[in-house]
Amino acid sequence: MNAFPALATPAILVDRDRLDANIADMQRHCSAHGVELRPHLKTHKMVEVARRQLAAGAAGLTCAKLGEAEAMLPASPRSLFVAHSLADPGQAARVAALTERVADFRVAVTSEAHAPALERVAAAAGRRLAVMLAVDTGLGREGVRDLAAAQRLAAMLARSRHLELRGFYTHEGNFYGIPPAQQRAKVIELIARLAGVRDAIDRTLPIWPGCSVSAKLIAENSAGRVQAVRPGAYMFGDLFLSEVTGVMPASAVAVQVLATVVDKPEPGLALIDAGSKTFSSDRTGDNIHAKAVDGRDLAVVRVNEEHGYVRGTAVDSLRVGERVAFMPAHICPVINLTDEVTVTAGDQIVATWRVEARGKTR
Ligand SMILES: Cc1ncc(COP(=O)(O)O)c(C=O)c1O
C-alpha cells in the first residue's frame, strides 16, 4: 500500500478508477434490463460523484433532505426525488425554489397521517407537487403497510389540490439482514408486492424500489415491471456490502480510511488516530467498525471519539507511526463526517473533492 506520507491522517481515500468502475457497472446492469438508475446521494454527498453518475447515464438523483438536493444543484440533475416525509410548511420556499430549478422534482408521501402535512407544505409553496407513494416492504419505517392503506392514500391524493401521484417507491433496508442465498427469492417477492400495489391503483405509474443490496437483482428480475432503482452506497462499498451481504468483492470497494498507529499500550492492542469521529459508531453484526484492507488480521473492535482500538493476530507486528488503510463497516456516516476526500489513481493523489452536502440534515 502507498501510505501517502504527505497526507495528514485520518484521511478518507477514494480510488477514482474503482469508483468509476462501480458507477459504470451498476449503470450497465440497469440499462441492460431497461431499468433507470436514480442513485441516492446520501452516501457520497459530493457534486463531483453526482456528475459522474449522471454522465454515466443515471436518469436522476435521490436524496433524503432538501439541503442535500440544494447542494447537488451544480450537478444539474434533470430529475430529483426527495425520499423523505416533508412535514414543515417552513420549508415551502425551498421546495418552491427546487421545483423551479429541477425539471422533474418529486417528493415522498409516506402515509395517510403524513399526506395532510405535505399538502400544507405544497399549499404554502404555491405549487402542485409530484409525489411518490411509499410502500413498506419489510423495513417497518415509512410507507403504507398494506394495499387497503395504499388505496385510501391514493384516493386522498386524487382529491388533493396540491399533490399529484406519480409513482410508488419502497426502501428495503431490511435486505442488509437477508442472507445472500435468500436475496433473489426475496427480491422476487418484493417486486411482486410493489407491482401488485401499483397495478391495483394505476398500472401506468412507475415503481422505484432498489437499494445497494437489491438493485442488481431487481433489475435482473424486473421483466418490465420495475422502472427505476435507487442504490446509494454501491459506488463506494464497505464491509456491509462486501462481507456481510456479499454483493460486491472487497477488491471493488473504492473508499479506504487511512489511519496512523499512535500507541501500543499493551500486547495485543494498538490504538489508531481514527475513532467514532471518523468511522462513526456503526459496526457489523460481529462488532467490527473496520478491517485492514491489506489482508492482515487487524480489526477496529471498539471506538472512542478520537481513538480506534485495533486487535487481531497482526497487531503486535505494527509499529507506532505506521499507517494502515481500513475498510469501514458502513461508508455513509464516514463520508458525512469529513469535509473532503482525497482522490487517488494508482499511487498518485489526483484531486481533493469537497463533501458539499456533508451535514445537510435539514
Ligand atoms: C429512501 C432510501 N432510498 C435509497 C437508499 C439507498 O440505500 P443503500 O445505501 O443501501 O443503497 C436509502 C438508504 O438509506 C434510503 O433511505
Determine the average pLDDT of the residues in 65-80. 98
Q: Region 91-113: what's the mean pLDDT? A: 98
Is the per-residue pLDDT at 330 higher than 80?
A: yes
Q: How many CA atoms within 13 Å lie on the side-chain side of 46?
A: 25
Query: Cα of 55 to ligand 1 centre, how many Å?
Result: 21
pLDDT computed for residue 179 by the predictor: 93
Q: How far is the CA of 86 from the centre of ligand 1 (A)?
A: 17
Buried b / exposed e across 84-102, counting CB within 10 Å, b at 16+? bbbeebebbebbbbbbeeb
Atom nearest to 175 CA in ligand 1: 10
Mean pLDDT of 260-276: 98
Q: Strand pairing of 79-82 and 104-109?
A: parallel
Q: Are 357 and 48 in contact (CB under 8 A)?
A: no
171 Cβ below 6 A of ligand 1: yes
Predicted TM-score (pTM) of the model is 0.97
Q: Ligand 1: which residue has its CA nearest to atom 13?
A: 232
Q: How far apart are CA 341 and CA 353, in angstroms?
A: 5
Asked whether the predicted pLDDT for residue 104 surpasses 80, the reply is: yes
Q: What angle do CA 169, 201, 172 make, to 5 degrees?
A: 20
For residue 68, what pLDDT is reported? 98
- pLDDT value at position 1? 57
Does ligand 1 come within 6 angstroms of the Cβ of 22? no
Q: Where are the domains of the chain?
A: 16-235, 248-354
Percentage above 70 pLDDT, the chain: 99
Q: Could you tell me if the CB of 84 is within 6 A of ligand 1?
A: no
Q: Is 216 in the pocket of ligand 1 (CB under 6 A)?
A: no
**Average pLDDT of 246-269?**
98
Residues 6+ apart with CB under 8 A from 113: none
State yes or no: pLDDT of 357 exceeds 60.
yes
What is the distance in A from the centroid of ligand 1 to the CA of 17?
23
82 C-beta closer than 6 A to ligand 1: no
Spell out the residues 6+ positions from residue 129 whose beta carbon is closer than 8 angstroms to its own: 95, 99, 105, 106, 107, 118, 121, 122, 162, 163, 164
CATH 3.20.20.10 correct for 16-235: yes
Query: For residue 6, how far is its CA from the centre of ligand 1 (angstroms)?
Result: 35
The band of 249, judged by pLDDT with boundaries at 50, 70 and 90, is very high
Alpha-carbon distances, residue 323 vs 24, 135, 238, 269 (angstroms):
31, 46, 19, 15
Task: Compute the C-alpha angle 308/311/317, nearest 5°.
Answer: 110
Residue 2 has pLDDT above 70, yes or no: no
133 lines ligand 1 (CB under 6 A): no
Phi, psi of 276 (to 5 degrees): -70, -20
- CB of 134 sitting under 6 A from ligand 1: no
Domains 16-235 and 248-354 share a fold: no
**Mean of the per-residue pLDDT values of the chain:** 97
Q: Going by CATH, does the domain composed of 248-354 fall within 2.40.37.20? A: yes
For 206-235, the pLDDT digits (tens) are 999 999 999 999 999 999 999 999 999 999
Asked if 201 and 185 touch (Cβ cutoff 8 Å), the reply is no
Which pLDDT score is estimated for 3? 79
Residue type, position 138, single letter: G
Task: Tell which atom from ligand 1 comes closest to the C-alpha of 83.
Answer: 1
Distance 4 CA to ligand 1 centre (A): 32
CB 114 within 8 A of CB 87: yes
Q: Which amino acid is at 158?
A: A
- CB distance 341 to 13 below 8 Å: yes
**CA separation for the pair 336, 339 (Å, rounded):** 8
Work out the average pLDDT over 38-53.
Answer: 98
pLDDT digits (tens, 9 = 90+) for 112-170: 999 999 999 999 999 999 999 999 999 999 999 999 999 999 999 999 999 999 999 99
In ligand 1, which atom is closest to the CA atom of 169?
A: 1
Give me ligand 1 centre to Cα 224, in Å.
22
What is the predicted pLDDT for the residue at 70? 98
Residue 239 has pLDDT above 60, yes or no: yes
pLDDT at 317 over 60: yes
Q: Which helix (H) or strand (E) holds 132?
A: strand 129-134
pLDDT tops 60 at residue 243: yes
Q: Are 12 and 338 in contact (CB under 8 A)?
A: yes
